[in-house]
Amino acid sequence: MSEALARIDPVSGSAVFANGVTLTLVEPMARFSLRARQPEALEQLLGFKLPRKIGASLDCAACLGPDEWLLRAAAGTKIASGSGQPVSITEISERSVCLIVEGARAAEVLASGCPLDLDRFAVGRATRTVFETVEIILLRTGEDRFQVEVWRSFAPWLRTALETAALQLR
């Protein structure tokens, strides 16, 4: 965005490796919270399809609730403001950071603090949940690969918690 000012992320970008599990910070991206009673209203504005089922994802959009989608795109992406329409489009690019938890035992690391049944959380699913007391959005992007969206001020704690869990796998 800016040449003059440096970006600073709340956690470092380098990968941490323990017991076959890596934790990596995802590069900056654009994020938008999309809200509407009817997904068609948003689809017309944005020109792409939104997933209909809660917990489903389609391309870069995930359906988080009956009237809520999370859109993630390349950094700097601009979209319509929705002004005058019965929708809400709010930019939240910097609200959270995304950690990738990857490896054969990635699900085990997440299960140390996330009460979801990850056996039943198929690739492509996305949902708002918690890790211990911290709210996260969890996306399964591969059998052994998860993305964890977390608000930036909680990221250092979450990263330490995930790292500790990965280190202590037996």
- Choose the stretch contacting other proteins; rule: CB under 8 A; options: 3-11, 43-51, 53-61, 137-145: 3-11
The least distance separating other proteins from the CB of residue 145, rounded to whole angstroms, comes to 20
From its phi and psi, is residue 111 left (phi > 0), alpha (psi between -120 and 50) or beta?
Answer: alpha
Shortest Cβ 17–other proteins spacing (Å): 17
Q: What's the longest Cα–Cα distance across the chain?
A: 56
Please say which residue, 86 or 142, places its beta carbon nearer to other proteins: 86
Output the smallest distance, CB 48 to other proteins, in A: 20
Window 83-142: residues binding other proteins (CB under 8 A) = 83-96, 108, 111-117, 119-120, 132-134
Question: From the list 23, 35, 127, 137, which residue makes contact with other proteins (rule: CB under 8 A)?
Answer: 35
* CA separation for the pair 56, 59 (Å, rounded): 10
Cα angle 59-57-129, degrees, rounded to a multiple of 5: 135
Please provide residue 146's backbone torsions phi and psi, each rounded to the nearest 5 degrees. -125, 150
Looking at residues 40 to 59 of the shown chain, list those that interact with other proteins (rule: CB under 8 A).
none
Q: How many CA atoms lie within 13 A of 65 on its CB side?
A: 10
Tokens of 68: 């809520």
> Can you give 101-119 as a three-state secondary structure string?
EECCCHHHHHHCCCCCCHH
> Shortest Cβ distance from residue 52 to other proteins (Å)?
18
Judged by beta carbon, residue 6 or residue 53, the one nearer other proteins is 6
Q: Is 154 in the site for other proteins (CB under 8 A)?
A: yes
Cβ-based neighbour number of residue 6 at 10 Å: 6
* The pair of three-digit structure tokens given for residue 31, joined into one six-digit string: 């994020």
Q: Which residues bind other proteins (CB under 8 A)?
A: 1-10, 28, 33, 35, 37, 67, 81-96, 108, 111-117, 119-120, 132-134, 151-154, 156-158, 160-161, 164-165, 168, 170
